[in-house]
């Protein structure tokens, strides 16, 4: 089962990386609307917290290395890439439950938003523009709130929508019921009583 988890994780992280290149919308200083959350949340709710955190971390490394990451120092690299994507694995807190993909998406999406929000208000504060979305910016915390909600809300909404559409046809995969052995398979085979009887003719 561990080998299957690693193989499935490698495939889903690779799928997430490919999807990250298909940007529906991109913000000027990093952050975009993509479909990458879908395979990462799916992996976490299928295999649990530890596997989910590992998958998110691997994706964060790939994002920084191959997606032309925006960073202004080690704090930005650590926060906006390694931590922000690792916390997507928190979806694993509700692994193998009926509503896991939905609750997990909300948990993971909020956790990632929170990381970007704090990093944006502190590390990126010096880059706050005078106006944003037609409003005058005075607080880096308010600016970071608007900036990160602008792409995180669509990401969360799209992920929920895709899972909602796929839930019925792919139910056993989205709820990880294919990984749970049936009661019959879990029980040891019953020994035939006749085989243990002593046969004098043997």
What local confidence, expressed as pLDDT, does residue 187 receive? 59
Alpha carbon distance 201, 46 (integer Å): 55
Alpha carbon distance 184, 128 (integer Å): 61
What local confidence, expressed as pLDDT, does residue 22 receive? 95
Cβ–Cβ < 8 Å for 172, 178: yes
Specify the pTM: 0.86
Q: Is the pLDDT of residue 184 over 60?
A: no
Q: Is the pLDDT of residue 29 over 90?
A: no
Confidence of residue 73 (pLDDT cuts 50, 70, 90): confident
Q: 32 - beta bridge partners?
A: 26
Q: How far is CA 187 from the centre of its chain?
A: 34
b/e map of 170-188 (b: 16 or more CB within 10 Å)?
Answer: eeeebbbeebeeeeeeeee
The CATH number given to 2-184 is 1.10.1760.20
Cβ–Cβ < 8 Å for 120, 137: no
- Read off the pLDDT of residues 81-115 as tens digits, 9 standing for 90 and up: 999 999 999 999 999 999 999 999 999 999 999 99
* CA nearest to 176, candidates 57, 59, 8: 8
Q: Is the pLDDT of residue 179 over 90?
A: no
Written as six digits, the tokens of 172 are 């056993």
- Read off the pLDDT of residues 111-148 as tens digits, 9 standing for 90 and up: 999 999 999 999 999 999 999 989 999 999 999 999 99
Tell me the HSE value of 121 on the side-chain side, using a 13 A CA sphere.
16
Domain ranges (residues) in the chain: 2-184
């Amino acid at each position: 089962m561990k080998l299957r988890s690693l193989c499935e994780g490698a495939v889903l992280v690779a799928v997430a990386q490919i999807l990250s290149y298909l940007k529906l919308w991109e913000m000027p200083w990093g952050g975009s609307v993509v479909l990458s959350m879908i395979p990462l949340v799916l992996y976490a709710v299928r295999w649990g917290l530890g596997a989910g955190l590992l998958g998110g971390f691997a994706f964060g490394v790939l994002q920084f290395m191959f997606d032309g990451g925006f960073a202004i120092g080690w704090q930005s690299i650590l926060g906006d890439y390694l931590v922000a994507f690792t916390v997507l694995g928190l979806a694993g807190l509700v692994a193998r439950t009926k509503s896991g993909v939905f609750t997990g998406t909300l948990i993971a999406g909020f956790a990632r938003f929170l990381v970007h929000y704090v990093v944006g208000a502190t590390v990126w504060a010096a880059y706050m523009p005078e106006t944003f979305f037609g409003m005058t910016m005075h607080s880096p915390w308010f600016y970071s709130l608007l900036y990160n909600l602008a792409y995180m809300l669509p990401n969360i909404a799209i992920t929920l929508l895709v899972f909602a559409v796929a839930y019925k046809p792919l139910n056993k995969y989205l709820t990880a019921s294919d990984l749970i052995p049936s009661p019959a398979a879990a029980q040891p085979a019953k020994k035939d009583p006749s085989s243990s009887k002593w046969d004098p003719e043997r």
